[in-house]
Amino acid sequence: MNNRSKLNPGYFTVRQLFELEACTRCGECIAWCPTYAERNAEEITPLSKIHTYKAFLKGEYGGFLARLFGFHPPTPQEIQEFGRGTFQCTLCGRCHVVCPINIRTRDLWIAMRQQLIEWREYPPFFDQLREAVTDKHNISAEDNRGRFIWAENLDNKPAAFPEKTRAEAVYFIGCVSSFYPTVFGIPQAFVNILNHAGVDFTAMGGEEWCCGYPLIIAGMGDQIKETVRHNVETVRQTGASKLITTCPSCYHTWRHEYPEVMGEPLGFEIVHAVELLDELIRDGHITLHRYPNAVTYHDPCDLGRNSGIYDAPRRIIRAIPEIQFSEMKDHREYSLCCGGGGDAEMADAELTAAVAHRRLEQAQETGAKILVSACQQCKRTLAGQARKEKMRLKTLDIVELVWEAMQE
C-alpha cells in the first residue's frame, strides 16, 4: 500500500466533492445506519466515511494550508480502516433520507468504493465476483445456459430464447431468481401470472447476462459496458416495448445506469413487476380471491428509497380481499434494510444476518404471519435468517402472494 496511486477525485463529480464539504456532522445518519447499529464500528458510519475521505483529499491536495490545519495524506492503516467501513455498508440509502442536507450518500459510497478498488483494498471475494459476472455472465459463476432451470417443473413452461425471440415484453429474471433454488418460486409465480393475464412475453434464457449491478455497487462499474450493450441489443432484437423485472436491483440498473452507459435512450420501457401487477389488477386482468392472513410489507431499498416505488406494492396488497395488512415500525422511506444489499454479505455475512434479524423482529412486532417483499435478494436474506432462527414467519415475494391469492 506504500506504493498506492494518488487519491483520484475523478471518481466523484464536482458536485459530489462539494457535497462532502456540505456535511454538517450532525450525526443523524449514525442514528439510522443499519450496519452501524449492529457493529458499532466508527468507520462504518456515513459521517466517518465522509470526513475521512474529505481529510484524505485535503491531505493529498491541500498543500501547506491543509497541513497547517492538521491534514495529511492517507496512511495505509487509515486506508484499510476506511475500506472496511465502506464495504460494511448495504447501500440502503437511509442516510440520504434522513440527512438534513439531502446529501446523495449512496452515490458517494459507490465512488469511494471505486477508489478502494483502484487501491486494491476490497474484500477478496470481489475478484471472484468480477470474474463470474464478466466471464460467466452471472453472479454464481455457473453455466449461464442454466438460467431457466427454475422453469423445469412448471406445467406451462414459458417460451423463451432461442424458441421465442419476438414478444411484446421481455421478462428479465435476474441472477438470484435464476440460480438460487430458495427463490425459484418468484419467477415461477410471475410467469404463471403473466400467462394467466395473457401478457405476450419472452425471456432471454442463456442470452440474459447479469445486469451488472453487483459490479456497479462493488465499485467496478467500468467493467459492465459489454454486458450493458449485449443485454440492450438482445432486448431490442425482440421488438419488445417493455422490459419487466421482478428484481429491484436489475430494475434500478436498467432504468438508471443503462441509458447512461449506452449514451442514448433504450427504446423500451423498464417496468418492475409491482407496477405491472398494479396495472393488471386495476384493469381487471387478474382476479384476486379472499386471503385471510396477516401480512406486513418490507420495502426493498432499490425499489423504495432508490427508485421511489412505495405505493404500487401497497395497493396490490390492499386489493386482496380479507387480507390484514399492517406496516412495520420502519417503513417506506425509513424502511430498514434486509441486510442483503450492497454486496455487504460478501464482505461480512454475519453483519447481514444481524441486520436481517432486526428486520424480522420488526415484522414479528406487527403480528403478521407473512412477511411480503418485492425482491428476491430480500426474500433470500430474510427467509434464510427466519429459517435459521426457527421463526414462525413465512416470507413471500409479492408475486408469490398475488399468485396465491389468484388461486380459488
Chain residues that interact with another protein, rule: CB under 8 A: 9-10, 12-19, 21-28, 30-31, 42, 45, 47-48, 57-58, 61-63, 65-66, 69, 71, 98-104
Are 270 and 262 in contact by the 8 Å Cβ rule? The answer is no
Burial of residue 398 (CB within 10 Å: 0-12, 13-18, 19+) is buried
Q: Nearer to another protein by C-beta: 37 or 154? A: 37
Distance CA 179, CA 369 (A): 27
Closer CB to another protein, residue 32 or residue 171? 32
**C-alpha cell of residue 152:** 423445469
| Smallest separation (angstroms) from another protein to the CB of 238 | 31
- For residue 286, the 8-state DSSP code is S
Q: Minimum Å distance from CB 57 to another protein?
A: 5
Shortest separation between residue 33's beta carbon and another protein, angstroms: 10
Sign of CA pseudo-dihedral 339, 344, 346, 350: negative
Would you say 208 and 151 are in contact if contact means Cβ atoms under 8 Å apart? no
Q: Residue 62 or 146: which CB sits closer to another protein?
A: 62
Angle between helix axes 376-388 and 349-365 (nearest 10 degrees) is 80
Going by the DSSP 8-state scheme, the letter that residue 267 receives in this structure is S
CB 145 within 8 A of CB 205: yes
CB nearer to another protein: give 6 or 392.
6
Helical spans, DSSP H, in 26-98: 28-32, 34-39, 46-61, 63-68, 76-87, 94-98
State the minimum distance, in angstroms, from the CB of residue 102 to another protein. 4
Which is closer to another protein, CB of 57 or CB of 139?
57
Q: Determine the Cα–Cα distance for residues 7 and 17; give it in Å rounded to an integer.
A: 13
* Min CB(101)–another protein separation in Å: 5
Q: What's the min distance (Å) between Cβ of 59 and another protein?
A: 11
**Which among 79, 104, 89, 114 has a CA at the least distance from the CA of 36?**
89
The torsion region of residue 70 among left (phi > 0), alpha (psi -120 to 50) and beta comes to: left
Q: How far is the CB of 294 from another protein (least distance, A)?
A: 30
From the CB of 8, what's the least distance to another protein, in Å? 8
User: Residue 9 or 339: which CB sits closer to another protein?
Assistant: 9
Given the complex with another protein, which of 167 and 312 has the nearer CB atom?
312
Residues for the chain: how many in total? Answer: 408
Pick the closer one to another protein by CB: 184 or 258.
258
